[in-house]
């Protein structure tokens, strides 16, 4: 085996501390190092182009814990593996080298108990409030029943406690839920007047425990569970899942299946981006756009229903191919709808970029630099709006993306309007991809039989979901159930970056700036504001923010505190 | 007077949409019911932002550990008479997430449910059908003829 | 170009709204509605119940005398059972209108042909 250049560099610097290395699949190199070498290895790799942390996976091998750092350099994934004993699970944090790794380390800390010394994020990161500190659910010694019992015994989720920077604890009451499609995230803002100075996000409200459940179910059952990690980009999750499992099985699937998968992926992308346009329109107060885009989206959903049987969860990907074919008559209706979608997408792009009520609320809002996007490991259309040229479909082509001519859409607007342009143009690119795929689809089978058991092998699959880079890590156990399955969703990757985007923003722009990353978590909103100069703390919901923005535009108020003085500052939001 | 109030309430129920930790599949179908193709506003159904204005709580997603208290609180904040509709298999029973440690189960573990609408996700037509069944019950069968399918 | 010409155009077009429940769209071929069992074909292998991701299929008995209860409020309508069945005894109907105040009314039983088909 040819020793990759990077491994040679590591060997020179680390010497004995590089224990082993290898490359089982193309574009996948791994190196096992001693834990004293973590920072040296990561900074060395970062200086050789591996500046993007795709994910950090925790693993319980039964003999100890293992932490895998997955570093990406335009399509090539380098995994640095470190073993850590159960009784002394400490590692140095790499957030001073690559700040974007902060939430990944926090997640491994929550779920496995590895302590990353120097990680600034308070616990818990992904687990619910009140979760006991010494209890790490993904360790193998705990079964799902054990965890359920512990949660019930220790009253997890019954208290919502926020610890303030100063050390005092305040009891934060729950806010209302969002009216339209929104996700739960707890955001804490430090404001000065009407501008945001600092943002801290508390995620983890939608933690369900899927990774542990997957270890107790068969691959066939897990496929359907994977689809429901996110209902909007459902097919991206199943695509990633089948890629991981087929890679572990070394299964060759028919060409026709690959083309069908591409068509479904792109139809999903179109529907997701149109959905986002509606949501973004709603956030800037332009409900007409919500109605128009969702109306046009119905045509795409009709296609998806005709091909797969359901508008939202397609069940089209199976291990070994696709479940259903796209017959010729359906191909014609797809082509017709694509013509319509193309006309409409161009219309929306034209319309909204000339409309002052839209541009006023999106151009120049949520500004951040390209450098921020790179160091904070942003992904997807969000990153591409900030001049970061990353798209898994081009960097690491899967299925037949390598054979289909299309462009990555990158702009250098570096603001919310940029994210809109990127998504609108991506719809047009997807239309072209679908047309090409349908015209060049070969005949033949679309499915092969797949074994039910996966050997003790690891596989990492990455796809470009509508929201960005999605990563699935699989470790087979030799049986019908996986040993470990890890999912890193694109929204998790974008949270540190959106916190940066919001800095310097006007309070009234929070909804649209946050919506710009196309968040997909699920839940209610609860945003806490702190005006340090005045010493005032208050809590607002999205409804409050919208009301504030409307009044601000009318000129009735100019600062959040004025709104509170006049309309009542709420500590108990209802 | 009671019958007039009941008739009026059934005529224009205000809905609160609550996602308790699901995948958003059912959410987008509930919101799709408001968009031009299905347009539930023809029935006077309006989406409200606050539990204090709602007649019907439409719940999607399974109840997760961290949402349980919040959901209870929202249910308490909603004034009587209130009705609960569980949309989708997760809200009805926990569904595919039954082996997930942070998922407690369906909505009925936390509050009484008036109508269960199965599906994953149910089509907007199925959701409208379910809500129509509920309205029929609220109105005591008085205006059921409008909603009965041909 | 602004929104006005668009709005004007739509003012004269037929409304997009589907007047459900007075109008209903036909479900496409291959629509995934509620499942049904052809008990004459069923060999009672149990693969459907085993592969169901949400445990919605309850198998009572084994082999040629096995009977089934499908808990519709747990069903994901994914079609894995249809796929897994080696004798194609399970198929989709195109029914999707199900709502009930009582979960027990959302359980469908499939017994052997001697007795009634659906209860």
Instruction: List pLDDT tens digits, range B113-127.
Output: 999 999 999 999 999
CB neighbour class for C104 (10 Å; exposed up to 12, middle 13-18, buried from 19): exposed
User: Residue A165: inside a domain, yes or no?
Assistant: no
Residue scoring higher pLDDT (C91 or A569) = C91
- Give C60→chain A minimum CA distance, Å: 21
In this structure, the answer to whether residues A404 and A264 fall within a common structural domain is yes
Give residue A203's pLDDT: 75
Please check the confidence at residue A407 and state whether its pLDDT lies above 80: yes
Sign of CA dihedral B33, B34, B36, B38: positive
> In the CATH scheme, what architecture does the domain C28-110 have?
2-Layer Sandwich (3.30)
3-class secondary-structure state, position A452: coil
pLDDT in tens, A430-450: 999 999 999 999 999 999 999
Whole-angstrom Cα distance, residue B21 to residue B34?
Answer: 21
Give residue A351's pLDDT: 84
* Residue C112 sits at the chain A interface (C-beta within 8 Å): no
pLDDT in tens, A119-162: 988 878 888 878 888 899 999 999 999 999 998 888 777 655 44
Please check the confidence at residue A343 and state whether its pLDDT lies above 70: yes
Give the CATH number, domain containing residue A402. 1.10.645.10
Whole-angstrom Cα distance, residue A433 to residue A397?
Answer: 14
Mean pLDDT, rounded, for A360-380: 91
Using a CB-CB cut-off of 8 Å, the residues of chain B touching A520 are: 24
Tell me which residue range forms the domain holding A561.
Answer: 185-206+503-509+519-567
In this structure, the answer to whether residues A199 and A286 fall within a common structural domain is no
In this structure, the answer to whether residues A226 and A86 fall within a common structural domain is no
| Number of Cβ within a 10 Å radius of residue A1 | 7
Q: In the structure encoding, which two tokens stand for residue A182, read together?
A: 């929104």
At residue C66's C-alpha, the angle toward residues C60 and C67, to 5°, is 65
Weakest-pLDDT range from A180-189, A520-529, B4-13: A520-529
In this structure, the answer to whether residues A29 and A45 fall within a common structural domain is yes
Whole-angstrom Cα distance, residue B58 to residue B29?
Answer: 12
Question: What Cα–Cα distance (Å) separates residue A529 from each residue in A23, A32, A198, A199, A545?
Answer: 49, 44, 10, 9, 11
DSSP 8-state secondary structure symbol assigned to residue B53: G
User: Residue A398: inside a domain, yes or no?
Assistant: yes
Give residue A158's pLDDT: 61
- Of A408, A522, A513, which is closest to residue A464 (Cα–Cα)? A408
Residue scoring higher pLDDT (A174 or A106) = A106
pLDDT in tens, A26-43: 889 999 999 999 999 999
Where do runs of H (alpha helix) occur along A232-391?
Answer: 234-249, 255-283, 287-308, 328-354, 356-362, 370-375, 380-384
Q: How many domains does chain B fold into? A: 1
In this structure, the answer to whether residues A46 and A194 fall within a common structural domain is no
Phi, psi of C89, rounded to the nearest 5 degrees: -85, -15
In this structure, the answer to whether residues A542 and A417 fall within a common structural domain is no
ipTM of the complex: 0.88
- Of B113, B114, B100, B86, which is closest to residue B19 (Cα–Cα)? B86
CB neighbour class for A206 (10 Å; exposed up to 12, middle 13-18, buried from 19): buried
* Residue C95 sits at the chain A interface (C-beta within 8 Å): no
pLDDT in tens, A84-103: 999 999 999 999 999 999 99
Give the CATH number, domain containing residue B103. 3.40.50.12280
Using a CB-CB cut-off of 8 Å, the residues of chain B touching C74 are: 89, 92-95
pLDDT in tens, A547-558: 777 788 788 777
Q: How many domains does chain A fold into? A: 3
Q: Which residues pair with B117 in a beta bridge?
A: B87
| Proportion of chain B in helix, strand, coil states, percent, rounded to 5 | 45, 20, 35
Mean pLDDT, rounded, for A6-21: 88
* Confidence class for position A14, pLDDT limits 50, 70, 90: confident
Mean pLDDT, rounded, for B134-145: 67
- Give B141→chain C minimum CA distance, Å: 15
Tell me which residue range forms the domain holding B97.
Answer: 2-147
CB contact under 8 A, B66 and A234: no
Q: What is the mean pLDDT of chain A?
A: 85
Weakest-pLDDT range from A57-61, A294-298, A566-570, C36-40: A566-570
In this structure, the answer to whether residues A255 and A326 fall within a common structural domain is yes
CB contact under 8 A, B66 and A157: yes
In this structure, the answer to whether residues A229 and A263 fall within a common structural domain is yes
pLDDT in tens, B25-58: 898 899 888 888 888 887 778 877 677 888 899 9
User: Residue A156: inside a domain, yes or no?
Assistant: no
């Amino acid at each position: 085996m040819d020793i990759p250049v990077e491994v040679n560099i590591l060997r020179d610097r680390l010497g004995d501390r590089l224990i082993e290395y290898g490359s089982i699949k193309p574009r996948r190199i791994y190196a096992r190092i001693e834990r004293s070498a973590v920072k040296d290895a990561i900074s060395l790799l970062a200086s050789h182009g591996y500046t993007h942390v795709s994910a950090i996976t925790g693993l319980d091998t039964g003999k100890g814990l293992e932490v895998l750092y997955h570093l990406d350099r335009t399509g090539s994934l380098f995994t640095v593996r470190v073993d850590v004993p159960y009784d002394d699970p400490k590692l140095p944090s790499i957030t001073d080298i690559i700040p974007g790794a902060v939430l990944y380390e926090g997640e491994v800390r929550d779920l496995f108990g590895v302590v990353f010394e120097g990680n600034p994020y308070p616990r818990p990161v992904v687990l619910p409030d009140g979760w006991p500190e010494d209890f790490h659910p993904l360790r193998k010694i705990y079964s799902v029943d054990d965890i359920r019992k512990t949660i019930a015994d220790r009253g997890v989720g019954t208290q919502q406690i926020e610890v303030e920077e100063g050390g005092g604890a305040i009891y934060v009451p729950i806010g209302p839920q969002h009216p339209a499609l929104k996700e739960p995230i707890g955001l804490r803002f430090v404001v000065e007047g009407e501008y945001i100075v600092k943002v801290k996000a508390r995620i983890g409200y939608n933690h369900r425990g899927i990774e542990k459940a997957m270890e107790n179910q068969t691959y066939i059952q897990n496929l359907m569970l994977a689809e429901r990690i996110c209902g909007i980009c459902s097919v991206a999750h199943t695509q990633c899942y089948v890629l991981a499992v087929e890679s572990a099985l070394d299964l060759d699937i028919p060409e026709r299946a690959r083309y069908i998968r591409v068509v479904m992926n792109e139809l999903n992308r179109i529907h997701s981006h149109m959905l986002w346009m509606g949501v973004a329109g709603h956030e800037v107060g332009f409900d007409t756009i919500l109605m128009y885009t969702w109306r046009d989206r119905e045509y795409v959903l009709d296609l998806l229903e005709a091909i797969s049987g359901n508008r939202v969860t397609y069940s089209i990907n199976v291990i070994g191919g696709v479940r259903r074919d796209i017959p010729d008559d359906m191909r014609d209706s797809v082509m017709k709808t694509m013509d319509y979608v193309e006309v409409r997408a161009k219309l929306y792009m034209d319309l909204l970029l000339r409309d002052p009520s839209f541009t006023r609320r999106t151009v120049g809002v949520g500004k951040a630099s390209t450098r921020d996007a790179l160091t904070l490991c942003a992904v997807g259309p969000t990153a591409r709006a900030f001049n970061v040229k990353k798209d898994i479909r081009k960097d690491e082509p899967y299925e037949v993306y390598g054979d289909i001519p299309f462009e990555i859409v990158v702009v250098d607007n570096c603001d919310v309007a940029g994210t809109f342009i990127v998504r609108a143009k991506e719809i047009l690119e997807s239309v072209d991809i679908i047309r090409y795929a349908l015209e060049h689809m070969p005949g033949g089978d679309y499915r092969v039989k797949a074994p039910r058991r996966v050997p003790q092998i690891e596989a990492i699959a990455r796809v470009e979901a509508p929201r960005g880079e999605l990563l699935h890590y699989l470790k087979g156990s030799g049986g019908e159930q996986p040993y470990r399955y890890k999912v890193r969703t694109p929204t998790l990757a974008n949270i540190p970056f959106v916190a940066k985007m919001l800095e310097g923003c006007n309070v009234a722009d929070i909804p649209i700036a946050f919506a710009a990353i196309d968040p997909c978590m699920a839940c209610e909103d609860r945003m806490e504001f702190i005006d340090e100069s005045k010493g005032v703390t208050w809590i607002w919901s999205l409804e409050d923010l919208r009301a504030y923005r409307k009044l601000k535009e009318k000129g009735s108020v100019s600062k959040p505190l004025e709104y509170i003085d006049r309309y009542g500052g709420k500590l108990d939001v209802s | 007077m009671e019958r007039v109030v009941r008739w009026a309430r059934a005529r224009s129920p205000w809905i609160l949409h609550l996602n308790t930790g699901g995948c958003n599949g059912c959410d987008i179908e509930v919101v799709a019911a408001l968009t031009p193709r299905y347009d539930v506003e023809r029935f006077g159904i309006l989406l409200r932002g606050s539990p204090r204005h709602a007649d019907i709580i439409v719940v999607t997603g399974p109840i997760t550990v961290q949402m349980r208290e919040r959901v209870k609180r929202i249910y308490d904040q909603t004034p009587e008479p209130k009705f609960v509709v569980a949309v989708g298999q997760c809200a009805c029973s926990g569904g595919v997430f039954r082996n997930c440690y942070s998922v407690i189960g369906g909505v009925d573990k936390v509050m009484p449910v008036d109508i269960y609408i199965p599906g994953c996700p149910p089509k907007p037509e199925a959701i409208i059908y379910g809500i129509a069944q509920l309205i029929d019950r609220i109105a005591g069968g008085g205006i059921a003829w409008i909603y009965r399918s041909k | 170009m602004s929104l006005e010409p668009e709005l004007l155009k739509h003012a004269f077009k037929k409304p997009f709204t589907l007047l459900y429940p007075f109008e209903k769209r036909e479900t496409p071929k291959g629509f995934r509605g509620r499942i049904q069992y052809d008990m004459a074909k069923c060999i009672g292998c149990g693969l459907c119940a085993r592969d169901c991701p949400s445990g919605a299929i309850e198998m009572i008995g084994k082999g040629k005398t096995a009977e089934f209860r499908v808990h519709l409020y747990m069903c994901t309508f994914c079609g894995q059972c249809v796929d897994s069945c080696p004798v194609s005894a399970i198929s989709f109907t195109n029914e999707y209108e199900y709502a009930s105040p009582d979960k027990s009314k959302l359980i469908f039983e499939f017994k052997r042909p001697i007795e009634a088909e659906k209860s």
